[in-house]
Structure formats: structure tokens, C-alpha cells
Chains A and B, each alone.
Chain A
């Protein structure tokens, strides 16, 4: 299971970084989403991997899984969900008014300014 988890995190991260480096808004948004999936898995694994163990104290149970990373992942999921919505709106706005989906700005763009 460790191998599966590690390779999943690695593959998601690699794909995410590749997409972010495309520098066009749609691939970048996909890439950032993939990176956030990777980091969620990573956070989840930081409490050690365990199967069929309860996170909450019970009488007569000796082995537990760590509940804190699960809470952290929930927080991270909510935040990345909100952030994705914001970045989609911004990317749409920038594309519709600028007619360009490039993330980087040309030298002419940066020099004409205020």
C-alpha cells in the first residue's frame, strides 16, 4: 500500500507541475487541482497508513489511526475548493476581457502600464 500511495502522490505531483508549466490558464487550473489532490494524499499519509482502525477512543481497542491528518485534509480540501472557484472566475474574466489565456505577460504588456 505504501508503494501505491507514494507512486500516486508522485504521479499526481508530476502531472500537476507539468500542467502548471504550460502557462495557459486552463491547463494551469487543472495542474493546480492535481497538485492539491497530491498534497491531500500526502497530508493523509503523514499520520501513517493503517487499515480498519478507528480514529476515536473506544474501550478495549488498542490500535488507532491518527485522526488529526484527516481533519487537516478536510480543511485543505475546503480551502482548495474555494480557491479553485476563485481562480476559475479570475481566469474567465482575464480571458474574456483580454482575449488571451496566457498566464505570463509579454514584455510589451509589462512596460506599457501605469
Chain B
């Protein structure tokens, strides 16, 4: 057995415990351990990715119990890809939090971050449905702590909303798992796939119920309309590095949809095939539309970025709903783009809030801020990436999605919605950007009331509390370059993704690897 597979789960868990137990008041030590740990995990996931690239599916049996009796972790191309993406984002987020001093504004930022990483890696690597639930809970409980990091009334209230919504989602997840266990007697994903395939179509009523319940649970995570209500307020109020890390949290939902509805309820399964795709398609089109209109109608930059996150999930899930290998590799490319682009947007918005003092994220003309040119450049880049204009990866991503869905049943509608909403997004970003960066404040206009949660209570426009602005700016520019790089390297990346989705749509290899691991 390859023990490296479990390291991305175990290492953050150990690091977080050590940090919280033995260095709770030593921020410098925490920072060293945290960043070193994240870099180590990044290295390990890249190593795992290189192993997975050969196409071999590796299985790690916890406690050496063979599947389906024990819990297994499974490393295939998809899980390796998502793990690398998470580790890369984690390094960027940790460095940004140190550069902006976000980790000094409350306690236990680094341990919570590593517990969160443990949950995310576990969710991507596990091959057991109940274990997926457990890792969802791990990442959620850490995200509750991160969400209210640095405190503040409105943040606490938004956090409460977020927690309650997700608790209901967890309950629904358990109902779904109970239903599936009652029908099949197993919760190992590969074993579930075998057993559900054996159930005759006219007795598959409960299987359909279980599939739809699972879809609802994952849609809550992925913020698919109409289950997106938790997202705007949560993301707009969350501390910026946390909101940037949450860019991968919605992708956990998308990942789970891709995994479960290619492996367990595959497109060849007559009981559910006609059910899932059309539902996700309609919901995703609505998600995209509402998200883009939200960008145009947002009253402040935080909500603008939150609605951009919803819109990107819409585009992603439109591609997922195709359930063909081409559409899935398009969805995976868009996943990479929207994770990096979403983090870029949230960090840029945070820089604007920080340097505009009392004006914070409000869409009102304010004074020139410090580092005006650099922040404006970043916002311009983030807007281009999110709206999907060339030359950044948003454009390439949308192009691949549209191309992959050319033969889909509702291709005309999908093309119209994706292209039309892009125009709305361009308008929304242009309006917001020109107000924030170009319009001079009217002479003698009073500064707005300082809002709670902003970091510059003095009201001075150029007050900043960043201890290391150079580090913060280089991280955000690094993300911008990563988005540009993703567009430049679109050829090799889509080559890997095509292999990934080919592996997903031939689930027999996965099932054989898990069930015959010894």
C-alpha cells in the first residue's frame, strides 16, 4: 500500500493539534509550522498527482481492512487534481493572511485552517460515502470557526445563518445515506455502484429517492439555485482569506456531484439517468443568471464577489449536467479557473476595503487610495477572469464549456444564457470598477459612517493595518499570474483533464481497483 495517500489528511490534523496545544500564543511559530506544513502537503499532492497521471487507481485501506468492510481512500486522477488545487490555494491563502495580518485579528487562525484542509483533502480522497459525510463535517466545523474569525456582530449573525443552513444539509445527508444503506446494505462507493446496478429498474424507487437526496445535499454545498441562500451573506462577511479558501468549498459540492453521479448513479443507470442531468441543467442555468444579475445589482464589493462565486458555480454545473466526457473535462477546467479566480477576486476586494478606509467596499465614489494603480490592475484582472473575457482562463473555460455542450439537447438555450450573462457580468464589473477606481468623490462630501467590521475605524482614507503589504500584493499578483498561466497552458491541462474524465466515465477500473485491492 502507498502510505503517501493518507498524508494530506493526517499531516494537517497533526499540525493543527500541535499548534493549538503547544504554541497557542506563539504566532511566529504557528506561522512557520503552518506554511511549512502547507508547502509539504503541496509537494506531496503533486507527487500523488504524478503517480495518478499514469492512470493507475491506488487504494489505501484504513486499518488494513479490505473493502467493502473497511474504509478506503482512493487516489485517481480526479482526486489528485482536486487535492493539488486545494494545496496550492491553501499556500496562497496562508501567505495572504500573514501579509495582511488577518491571522492576528483573532485566535487559532492557523490550526482552524489546517483542520479545514484535513476535511477538504479527506472529502476528495475518500472512497466511502459515510466517510465523505464525516469529512464534510470536519471541514464544516472548521469553517464555522474560520467564518467568525476576528468577530463582529454582523459576521456572527451571518455565521449563525451559515451554520444552521449547513446543519440542515448534514441532516439531509444522513437521511440520504440511511436510504441508500437500507436498499443496498453498503456504503462503500464502489460496492454501492455494483449493488445499485443490480437492482431492477422497476424496484428502484428508493434508489431514486436516495439519489435525489444526495443531489440536494451536494447542491447546498455547491450553492446551486434554489439552495444558494446561505452563500452571499456568508462569503461577503467572512474574513477575506477565509472567503478565498471557501472558493474550494463550493467545489467540494461540485466534486461530490461529479464523483457520485458518474460512479454510483452513472449515466448508464436507467433508474436515475433521465432524472439528474435535466434537473441540474435547469438549476445551473438559473444559478448562472441569478449570480450574474447579482453582480450587476450588488450594493457593495463583498456581495459582488459572492454573487460572482454563485455565477461561476452556475457555469461549472451547466457543464457537469452534460454528463459526457467532454463536458466533464470542461467542468474540471472551469473548476480550476473558478477556484483561482474566485480567490483572486475575494483578495482584491479585501485590498480595496483595506485601503479605502471608511469607504470600505461600498460602491460610492471615494478618494484615491494608496497603491491605487496596483489594486486597480488586480481588480481589472479579476473582473476579466470572472466575466470570462480573453486573455485569462475564464474565457478559455467558457469556450471549452460551450464547445463541449454543442450537441447537448438544449444547446441553443445554454449558449444564449452563458453568453448573455457574460455581458451582464461585464456591465456589473465595469460599473463597480469605474465607481470605485475612477470617479472622484464630490468635493466636500463627508466620509460614510465607518461600518462595523472594517479594519480602519479611524476613517482616514489611507489607513492600513497591513504589516507586510509586499507579501500580500505578491500573493494576489501570483494568483493573477496563475489564472493567466492556466489560460496559457490550456492545451496540456485539458489533455490531462480529458484523461481524467475518460477515467471517470469508465468506472469499472475504479470498482475493480477498490473491490480487488488484495
Query: Within residues 61 to 89 of chain A, which ones have a CB less than 8 A from any CB in chain B?
Result: 66, 68-69, 72, 75-76, 79, 82-83, 86-87
Task: Flag B184-218 by CB within 8 Å of A: 1 or 0 each.
Answer: 01010000000000000000000000000000000
- How far apart are B164's CB and chain A's nearest CB, in angstroms? 6
Chain A's closest residue to B165 (CB) is A103
Residue from A79, A97, A114 within 8 A of B454 (CB atoms): A114
The 16 sampled A-B contact pairs (Cβ below 8 Å) are A20-B164, A32-B171, A35-B168, A36-B171, A43-B177, A46-B181, A72-B130, A75-B134, A94-B157, A94-B159, A105-B154, A110-B303, A112-B451, A113-B303, A114-B300, A114-B361
Chain B's closest residue to A102 (CB) is B157
Say whether A83 contacts B141, CB under 8 Å: yes
A90 interfacial by beta-carbon distance below 8 Å? yes
A105-B158 contact in complex given A47-B181, A110-B233, C-beta closer than 8 Å: yes
B55 interfacial by beta-carbon distance below 8 Å? no
Q: Which A residues are CB-close (under 8 A) to B130?
A: 72, 75
For A32, A46, A48, A72, the residue with the greatest tally of chain B CB atoms inside 10 Å of its CB is A46
For A36, A79, A98, A111, the residue with the greatest tally of chain B CB atoms inside 10 Å of its CB is A79
Distance A95 CA – B178 CA, assembled complex (angstroms): 35
Say whether B148 contacts A93, CB under 8 Å: yes
Distance A108 CA – B299 CA, assembled complex (angstroms): 11
Q: Which A residues are CB-close (under 8 A) to B361?
A: 113-114
B290 interfacial by beta-carbon distance below 8 Å? no
Say whether B171 contacts A39, CB under 8 Å: yes
Q: Which A residues are CB-close (under 8 A) to B454?
A: 114
- How far apart are B300's CB and chain A's nearest CB, in angstroms? 6
Chain B's closest residue to A71 (CB) is B130
- How far apart are A107's CB and chain B's nearest CB, in angstroms? 10
B160 interfacial by beta-carbon distance below 8 Å? yes
Say whether B156 contacts A43, CB under 8 Å: no
- How far apart are A41's CB and chain B's nearest CB, in angstroms? 10
B496 interfacial by beta-carbon distance below 8 Å? no
Size bracket of the B interface: 35 or more
Residue from A46, A79, A93 within 8 A of B134 (CB atoms): A79
B97 interfacial by beta-carbon distance below 8 Å? no
Distance A100 CA – B156 CA, assembled complex (angstroms): 11
B residues engaging A (CB < 8 A)? 130, 134, 137, 141, 144, 148, 151-154, 156-161, 163-164, 167-168, 170-171, 174-175, 177-179, 181-182, 185, 187, 232-233, 236-237, 299-303, 353, 360-362, 451, 453-454
Chain B's closest residue to A111 (CB) is B299
Distance A114 CA – B364 CA, assembled complex (angstroms): 12
Q: Which A residues are CB-close (under 8 A) to B299?
A: 111, 113
Say whether A113 contacts B164, CB under 8 Å: no
Identify the 4 closest CB pairs spanning chains A and B, nearest first: A46-B182, A46-B178, A114-B361, A94-B156
Chain B's closest residue to A48 (CB) is B182
Say whether A104 contacts B161, CB under 8 Å: yes
Distance A91 CA – B164 CA, assembled complex (angstroms): 10
Q: Which B residues are CB-close (under 8 A) to A39?
A: 171, 174-175, 178
Distance A87 CA – B178 CA, assembled complex (angstroms): 24
Residue from B144, B157, B168, B237 within 8 A of A32 (CB atoms): B168
Say whether B178 contacts A42, CB under 8 Å: yes
Residue from B160, B181, B362, B451 within 8 A of A90 (CB atoms): B160
Q: Which A residues are CB-close (under 8 A) to B160?
A: 25, 87, 90-91, 94, 103
Q: Which A residues are CB-close (under 8 A) to B163?
A: 83, 86-87, 90
Distance A90 CA – B144 CA, assembled complex (angstroms): 9
A59 interfacial by beta-carbon distance below 8 Å? no
Q: Which A residues are CB-close (under 8 A) to B170?
A: 79, 83
Say whether B236 contacts A86, CB under 8 Å: no
Say whether B159 contacts A90, CB under 8 Å: yes
Q: Which B residues are CB-close (under 8 A) to A2?
A: none
- How far apart are A82's CB and chain B's nearest CB, in angstroms? 7
Q: Which A residues are CB-close (under 8 A) to B233?
A: 105, 110
Say whether B174 contacts A43, CB under 8 Å: yes
- How far apart are A79's CB and chain B's nearest CB, in angstroms? 5
Distance A76 CA – B406 CA, assembled complex (angstroms): 44
- How far apart are B135's CB and chain A's nearest CB, in angstroms? 11
Chain A's closest residue to B237 (CB) is A113
Q: Which B residues are CB-close (under 8 A) to A42?
A: 174-175, 178
Distance A103 CA – B299 CA, assembled complex (angstroms): 22
